[in-house]
């Protein structure tokens, strides 16, 4: 049982540690160390609340169930479709952003043309998604451990390059610009039903698994932000590992890019599998047609966005998190919890649900109109 709990925690952790960690230091650094820290703490708190809301709703079902079916059972078919739209918007946003990040990374590391690096990644993920790899929870958990160790190594090696003056600037007017990226960086909630079903734990242990995974990731995110802004100051790069490598050492550059590529690849594969299953179950179509529906839009949009370069990576993640993730991770579960909090126990009760609803609604509004 302890082994299952550990695997479940690592699965949740691995879903969170994707491309979000690469773009988060840039987004947070725009307001300086103080501004970035304030907005990060707020985002982490609401990520915790939404994880507890979803974890509790999943455990109440006492069976394997998707977020789509949970939301639909409480709020009706139309909300079910809205949930699906949010999940697809967030997932496609992530899948569109990943090749852009890989294109930047390979161009910096091996001087491969940006468009070629992005195209190679799309070809690789297409090949992987065409395979029948089956259940791989323990392998994914092992990959998560490798990712964490690589990130810790990069952080430790970068500490001597920190300049304390880089922590002193403060731009409060830039704080809200990081909201969409923060929501995206913590939006691994789609795997909560499968993680809790896999571990088969009681309610208290289930929430502990989610808490440990979320706060482990939050600690990694925050320390990586501290290192990135300490080393680069106002010049944090959109893909943070690129700037670190250029200012610390060639070895850090290499290991940092290995971490970036591995994090993006594992996250992209997981999201791609989820999209294939969604299309198969919702629309009753074949895996081959599902793969076409996944890859073709990504290829076409990335061809268009490739002219923008690194800025496009950040912009896409911001929209994916601020609109799609905010909807299905925060707003919809908060609506359900508001009604259930009168008879069931949730963290901070109805007040917590209202606060979560307000926060994620403001994130979406700001993302749409800023």
In the chain, what are the domains?
Answer: 2-369 (1.20.1740.10)
Torsion of CA 184, 187, 190, 196, to 10 degrees: 160
Coil, strand or helix at 170: strand
C-alpha span between 78 and 40 (Å, rounded): 33
| Contact call for residues 29 and 238 (beta carbons, < 8 A) | no
| Tokens representing residue 281 in the block | 């179950």
| Contact call for residues 98 and 281 (beta carbons, < 8 A) | no
Please report, in tens digits, the pLDDT of each residue of the chain (370 residues total): 455 555 556 666 666 666 577 788 999 999 999 999 999 999 999 999 998 888 888 888 766 677 777 888 888 888 878 888 888 888 888 888 888 888 887 877 778 888 888 888 899 888 888 876 544 556 666 777 788 888 889 889 899 999 999 999 999 999 999 999 999 888 877 777 767 766 666 767 777 878 888 888 888 889 999 999 999 998 888 878 878 877 887 788 788 888 888 888 877 877 787 777 777 767 777 878 888 888 998 988 888 877 665 567 788 888 999 999 999 889 999 999 988 888 888 878 889 999 999 999 999 999 998 7
Q: What are the residue ranges of helices labelled H in the chain? A: 2-16, 20-29, 32-61, 67-75, 77-110, 114-130, 137-158, 179-185, 192-199, 203-232, 240-247, 250-283, 287-305, 310-319, 332-340, 349-369
Q: What is the pLDDT of residue 182?
A: 92
Rg (CA), the chain: 20
C-alpha span between 146 and 84 (Å, rounded): 32
Please tell me the pTM assigned to this model. 0.85
Q: Is the backbone of residue 201 left (phi > 0), alpha (psi -120 to 50) or beta?
A: beta
């Amino acid at each position: 049982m302890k082994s299952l709990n550990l695997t479940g925690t690592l699965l949740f952790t691995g879903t969170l540690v994707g491309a979000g960690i690469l773009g988060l230091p840039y987004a947070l650094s725009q307001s300086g160390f103080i501004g970035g820290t304030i907005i990060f703490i707020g985002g982490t708190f609401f990520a915790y609340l939404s994880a507890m809301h979803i974890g509790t709703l999943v455990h109440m079902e006492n069976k394997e169930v998707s977020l789509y079916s949970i939301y639909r059972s409480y709020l009706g078919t139309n909300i079910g479709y809205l949930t699906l739209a949010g999940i697809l918007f967030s997932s496609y946003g992530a899948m569109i952003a990943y090749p852009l990040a890989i294109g930047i990374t390979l161009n910096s590391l091996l001087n491969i043309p940006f468009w070629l690096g992005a195209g190679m990644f799309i070809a690789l993920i297409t090949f992987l998604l065409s395979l029948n790899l089956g259940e791989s929870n323990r392998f994914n958990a092992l990959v998560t451990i490798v990712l964490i160790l690589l990130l810790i190594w990069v952080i430790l090696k970068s500490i001597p390059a920190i300049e304390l003056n880089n922590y002193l600037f403060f731009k409060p007017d830039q704080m809200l610009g990081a909201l969409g990226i923060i929501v995206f960086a913590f939006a691994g909630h789609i795997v909560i039903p499968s993680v809790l079903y896999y571990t088969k734990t009681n309610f208290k242990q289930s929430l502990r698994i989610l808490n440990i995974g979320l706060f482990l990731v939050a600690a990694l995110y925050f320390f990586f932000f501290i290192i990135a802004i300490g080393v680069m100051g106002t010049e944090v790069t959109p893909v943070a590992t690129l700037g670190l490598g250029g200012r610390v050492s060639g070895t850090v550059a290499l290991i940092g890019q290995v971490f970036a590529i591995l994090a993006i690849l594992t996250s992209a594969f997981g999201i791609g599998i989820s999209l294939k299953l969604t299309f198969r179950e919702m629309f009753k179509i074949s895996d081959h047609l599902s793969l076409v529906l996944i890859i073709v839009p990504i290829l076409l949009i990335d061809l268009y966005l490739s002219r923008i370069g690194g800025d496009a990576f950040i912009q896409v993640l911001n929209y994916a998190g601020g609109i799609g993730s905010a909807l299905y991770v925060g707003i919809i579960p908060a609506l359900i919890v508001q009604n259930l909090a009168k008879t069931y126990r949730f963290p901070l009760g109805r007040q917590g649900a209202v606060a979560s609803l307000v926060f994620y609604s403001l994130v979406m509004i700001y993302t749409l109109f800023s």
